[in-house]
């Protein structure tokens, strides 16, 4: 079943309520036209539905997503896919700050660039950015993968836990406890799969892997200046 919404004629509240009212096993395709920067669109979805958002999204689009596949045919504001649990969110343009923040699972794909703090405190999500990311990306990242096909800003992976970071381009600087690491066969396989899922044709061998030096897991007085 295909459903259509027009945000010139209907409100975001009406759209979100209609999506939440769908059965848990719904597989509907929903097309939403005239998205013009509205906030909190398609949040808290818990069905394996497909949502196509035509236009630019405001804050927290597709936040708390579970199971659904959400495509934003434009740019996304702060906190896109924030706290996502599963499913897929695909931004066809650029994303503002804190894309994928605290997300526990699923896949976030950004075709353009992502601003500062992409993947902050990520907890299991996989994020693929086809462009570049801003400063403090993957800050306090706990698990999951951040793939950057462009460049990365300052303090990449600051206070990192166990996120795997793959960057093809230049890194401005690494954050506290983030170090360059060996790219082993299992990492090339992991990266290849993520690039494939995101529709990228980049060569995994051209990426560099970064990860945690594991020196900040517990407080050590000798490292006090790094906290």
pTM as predicted: 0.94
CA dist 224 and 148 (Å) reads 31
Give the pLDDT confidence score for residue 4 in this predicted structure: 97
Give the pLDDT confidence score for residue 216 in this predicted structure: 76
Give the pLDDT confidence score for residue 219 in this predicted structure: 66
- Mean pLDDT, consecutive 10-residue segments, the chain of 227 residues? 94 97 95 97 97 98 98 98 98 98 98 98 98 98 98 97 97 96 97 98 97 80 67
CATH of the domain at 131: 2.160.20.60
DSSP assignment, residue 14? H
CA dist 79 and 66 (Å) reads 16
Give the pLDDT confidence score for residue 115 in this predicted structure: 98
Give the pLDDT confidence score for residue 198 in this predicted structure: 97
On whether residue 50 sits in a domain, the answer given is yes
On whether residue 215 sits in a domain, the answer given is no
On whether residue 209 sits in a domain, the answer given is no
Whole domain around residue 156: which residue ranges? Answer: 2-198
Alpha helices in the chain (DSSP H): 12-20, 185-197
In the chain, the number of structural domains is 1
CA distances 36 to 1, 21, 29, 184, Å, are 25, 24, 20, 44
On whether residue 132 sits in a domain, the answer given is yes
């Amino acid at each position: 079943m295909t459903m259509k919404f027009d945000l010139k004629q209907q409100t975001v509240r009406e759209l979100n309520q209609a999506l939440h009212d769908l059965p848990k096993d719904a597989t509907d395709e929903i097309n939403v036209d005239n998205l013009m920067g509205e906030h909190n669109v398609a949040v808290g979805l818990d069905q394996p539905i497909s949502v196509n958002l035509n236009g630019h999204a405001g804050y927290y689009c597709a936040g708390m997503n579970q199971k659904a596949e959400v495509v934003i045919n434009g740019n996304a504001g702060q906190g896109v896919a924030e706290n996502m649990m599963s499913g897929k969110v695909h931004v066809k343009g650029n994303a503002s700050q804190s894309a994928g923040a605290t997300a526990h699972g699923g896949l976030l794909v950004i075709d353009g660039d992502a601003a500062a703090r992409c993947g902050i405190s990520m907890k299991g999500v996989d994020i693929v950015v086809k462009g570049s990311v801003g400063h403090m990306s993957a800050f306090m990242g706990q698990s999951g993968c951040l793939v950057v096909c462009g460049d990365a800003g300052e303090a990449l992976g600051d206070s990192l836990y166990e996120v795997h970071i793959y960057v093809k381009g230049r890194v401005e600087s690494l954050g506290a406890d983030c170090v360059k690491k060996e790219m082993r066969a299992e990492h090339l396989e992991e990266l290849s799969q993520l690039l494939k899922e995101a529709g990228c044709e980049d060569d995994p061998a051209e990426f560099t892997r970064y990860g945690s030096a594991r020196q900040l897991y517990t407080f050590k007085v000798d490292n006090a200046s790094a906290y």
